[in-house]
Chain A
């Protein structure tokens, strides 16, 4: 079922939580709403669910599920499944009763027979690999298991749209990773339309078909994870999607200077701020004629596929982060307190005046 939002806005008192928003989500898509807290992503999700009402202004917004206008439809009749960050399980009911809830509250005419309910609940519990815990109470389960119960409960009513509000936010890193993969799998298998909220860029990029990046109640960019990472629409998106190093200084005659550091760049004269990703910083023992950016290593963290190195210098307002391959790390014999020279491989600038259009990227 596709979801179309047209002109959806929301005020809480005098503060505007959402500026008027248009959004099209295709059938079968898995879409992530990504943004910092207060960006309006949860409000948007709750409006789609019908747990919150959009503003009724002179030009009221519209929400369509397929061809069905659900703008004024109550949450209980929207045929959605909603998964909450803190599970919101019914604590006085067993796992079985929690999952069966949506089926047992159906009107007598539409309610399946008790045998059918039983079969369906066990099928769902099997899917979330919890059939052996059917008689337990939520308090006896781990966080990851509780979230799986809550997902099974949401799926029991066969929703057309599955909405998840920071579904993995309260879980530890390892369980989160596992559930993420499992949700993606489930989504592909059952082929419903899903929208989930997250503040974790890695989660959004890994899980989504498309990501909606939000800030301050506005949509900043809607794109596939790949496009989003390669061609961010503006500085906010670029900075939000990963670690960023800032290089600020004055350019004159094609040389950017900042304290005792300098670097040849092909830019007009004036004050400039350039942004680099950690993997775009190369480290050497000697300066080149092109660049002289002396730095000192203050921390080394050899965890993961690459070694993360923290760099400081007098001419830097904030420390830089560089990632080095393990082989280079051994080759350079890096250690804390060592003095090296940084060379930007690639950089971007987002001139402040016209944010959206004139993003420039260069290979140095």
Chain B
């Protein structure tokens, strides 16, 4: 009885506004996130499982999974390496233009992806600046999966930089100094002291970049060339279905992307939670 009263008046909480802010948050999440997802599943209701399976395992669609996952994996690995390097440079050194470089890191987030796509396509087309240089050497970037990976890397690099950066800032320079005073070479200090510390953040950032790449559309279609079975990405397959007014088919493919993304995000979260617990001495 009294418990109910305190719960209702909220008198045990010092911070005011819980009811209102929580209510608005839940409403917002419902409208913006849950409602569209429900709509997606609503579309699927019109399909039998056999039809659903047929759509998502059609040869051209499966080929698009391969292209998307392969290119996203390559992009994620590139981002893991260069994102780490960029975060390192931004945290550990002082140089003129540091703030500008830091601000530039967010550009892929801010720039409409279609703008990025068009820019990359013109640059790497055989008549573009980069294309002209690379083509004679036998590298074709535009209209191949390399171009897809490049566009993916461009749009998702901030994920790695922005997740690793705060963790690196949190690692005091004293820790590398301690390692070196104990006789560790630079390589050993990095491998045994710095890398284990930033590893969870690096994996999370890379995972996020990978998931982001799986769903990227705007930046890729201009540079991909979109040849069936070769350079079509899954997002494009959804788009094609939509243009044919096949909403159920589009939803079916979309649900695959959604499940894979959700499963990956969940896995990253669980894994990271376990790692962080160890770092804080098993106290959560």
Residues of A within 8 A of B (CB): 49, 51, 74-77, 80-82, 84, 86, 88-92, 101-102, 105-106, 136-140, 150, 153-154, 156-157
Q: Which residues of chain B are near A77, meaning CB under 8 Å?
A: 183
Q: Which residues of B contact A (CB under 8 A)?
A: 172, 174-175, 177-185, 188, 192-193, 196-197, 278-283
Most A Cβ at <10 Å: residue of B174, B185, B197: B174
Cβ contact within 8 Å between A75 and B192: no
| Residue picked from B172, B174, B181, B281, most chain A C-beta under 10 Å | B181
Q: Are B279 and A51 in contact (CB under 8 A)?
A: no
Q: Is the CB of A137 within 8 A of B282?
A: yes
The complex places the Cα of A156 from the Cα of B193 at a distance, in Å, of 18
Q: Using A76-B180, A137-B281, A156-B182 as known contacts, list a sample of 13 further A-B pairs with CB atoms less than 8 Å apart, ordered by residue number in A.
A: A51-B177, A51-B180, A76-B183, A84-B177, A90-B175, A91-B197, A91-B279, A92-B278, A105-B182, A105-B185, A139-B279, A153-B178, A157-B183
| Tally of contacts, chain A with chain B, CB under 8 A | 77
Which residues of B have CB within 8 Å of A88? 172, 174-175, 177-178
Shortest CB-to-CB span from A211 to chain B, Å, is: 24
Q: Which residue of B lies closest to A49 (CB)?
A: B181
Of the residues A84, A91, A157, contact of B174 by C-beta under 8 Å: A84
Contact residues in A for B177 (Cβ distance below 8 Å): 51, 75, 82, 84, 88
State the Cβ distance, B164 to closest chain A Cβ, in Å.
Answer: 16
- A-B pairs, top 8 by smallest CB distance, nearest first, are A139-B281, A102-B182, A140-B281, A88-B174, A82-B181, A88-B178, A105-B184, A92-B196
Residues of A within 8 A of B172 (CB): 86, 88
**Bound CA span A227–B253, Å:** 85
User: In the complex, what residues of A have CB within 8 A of residue B283's CB?
Assistant: 139-140
Cα A166 to Cα B278 with chains together (Å): 29
Cα(A153)–Cα(B181), bound, Å: 10
Expressed in whole angstroms, the Cα–Cα distance for A74 and B186 within the complex equals 11
Given A91-B279, A137-B282, A81-B192 contact (CB < 8 Å) = no
Min C-beta distance of A123 to chain B, whole Å: 17
Contacts of B182 in A (CB 8 A): 76, 101-102, 105, 153-154, 156-157
